[in-house]
Chains A and B, each alone.
Chain A
Amino acid sequence: MIQLIYIFLFGILAGSIGSMVGIGGGFLMILFFTLVIKLPIRYAVALSLISIIASSSIATSFYLHEKMTNIRLAIVLETATCTGAILGAFIALIIPTSIIEGILGITLLYAGILLLLNPISNEVIIKPSKLSGEYYDGNNLVKYSVSRIKLGLFASLFAGMISGIVGIGGGIIKVPIMNLIMKIPIKAAAATSNFMVGLTASASAIVYFIKGMIDFQLAIPAALGVIIGALIGTHFLIYGKPLYLRRILGLILSLFSIIFILKALGVVVL
């Protein structure tokens, strides 16, 4: 019983962080399920996927309502990401995972430092297109357009490849791509990433479901926890200052980068 309460409480934490900065929070859940609950890694991954789906679905429903999710952009970028995931399956046969983890670690560190050192957003309006968006940040109407679409698509292709190989949802790569490369405001980037990570998680979760690797009883407190967490996280994203959100994301990316660099060096095994 106490285990169920722990899962529920950690779900609240992971769900709020994940939905607030659009990273899904799956990696945090995997760490918790393996290190604290002592679940075998495959069961831990399966439960984390269920958590991502629940958290991202609730968060997306709120962000859509606030017009922060750019559905058109999400769908276009998803074409590149899922193509990358397929290519990743082939690349994994040629390049060792440790090298990919090292590249990911260094890239995340770079993105994390950029977000921490340049907390002032440099979003600019270039020219309106079908991918442009607008939303209310408090009482201010924020209008933005998407720049460097080709570069963003190319980066998303790589993000898909890397997530497929390393086994992550990809939110930690997608948000920096949208914010730093495509110059999309941090709130719209996080909300749009939330829309995308759910789909990636769903594709993997179905496989775990078919293989019977989902602990249904533990899925309930995990899902309930992340849903409550998502309600908290979405509140922070909708009403929070972009400056703080960029800093929080920068900090999370820096922490994750250290984990991936240590994994690449063989210091951390997970």
Chain B
Amino acid sequence: MKIENIISLILRINVIVSIIIMIIGYLTVSNLLWIGTLLLIITPLLRTFSALIIFLYEKEMLFFFSALYVLIIFIISTLMT
């Protein structure tokens, strides 16, 4: 399976699962509501992380380090805020 198809599948599954969890959380008035929302929020992070792993696996080091840099900046800026 190509890199595009793997990330496409991960994204689709993650968004659908997040929304289902959010709706269950809303109907049952439980913590699942915010858990689903958090899962949705981290979806883009997941796609960059997936790209990072795949670039490493395919030994495309320029893109691996670029993705790593983006993720590090992402984490640092979140922690600083």
| Chain A, residue nearest B50 (CB) | A71
Residues of chain A at interface, number, CB under 8 A:
42
State the CA gap A195–B7 with chains docked (Å).
11
Could you count the A-B residue pairs with CB atoms below 8 Å apart for me: how many are there? 127
Give the CA-CA distance A226 to B40 in the complex, in Å: 13
Question: In the bound complex, how far is the Cα of B2 from the Cα of A69, in angstroms?
Answer: 13
* Residue A199 interfacial (CB < 8 Å): yes
Docked complex Cα distance between A130 and B63 (Å): 10
Are A227 and B44 in touch, CB under 8 angstroms?
A: no
Q: In the complex, how many angstroms separate the beta carbon of A199 from the nearest chain B beta carbon? A: 4
Which residue in chain B gives the minimum CB-CB distance to A219?
A: B37
A-side interface mostly: helix
Taking CB atoms and an 8 Å cut-off, the chain B residues in 12-57 that contact chain A are 12, 14-15, 19, 22-23, 25-26, 33-34, 37-38, 40-45, 47-48, 51, 55
Give B residues with C-beta under 8 Å from A. 3-5, 7-9, 11-12, 14-15, 19, 22-23, 25-26, 33-34, 37-38, 40-45, 47-48, 51, 55, 60, 62-63, 66-67, 69-70, 73-74, 77-78, 81
* Besides the known contacts A58-B11, A64-B11, A209-B37, 8 further A-B residue pairs in the complex with CB atoms under 8 A apart: A53-B43, A57-B40, A64-B5, A75-B51, A82-B77, A199-B70, A199-B74, A203-B77
Interchain Cβ contacts under 8 Å between A and B, 23 examples: A61-B8, A61-B15, A62-B8, A69-B4, A71-B4, A75-B48, A78-B70, A79-B66, A79-B69, A82-B69, A82-B73, A82-B74, A130-B60, A195-B47, A202-B41, A202-B44, A202-B45, A206-B42, A206-B78, A209-B41, A216-B37, A217-B33, A220-B23
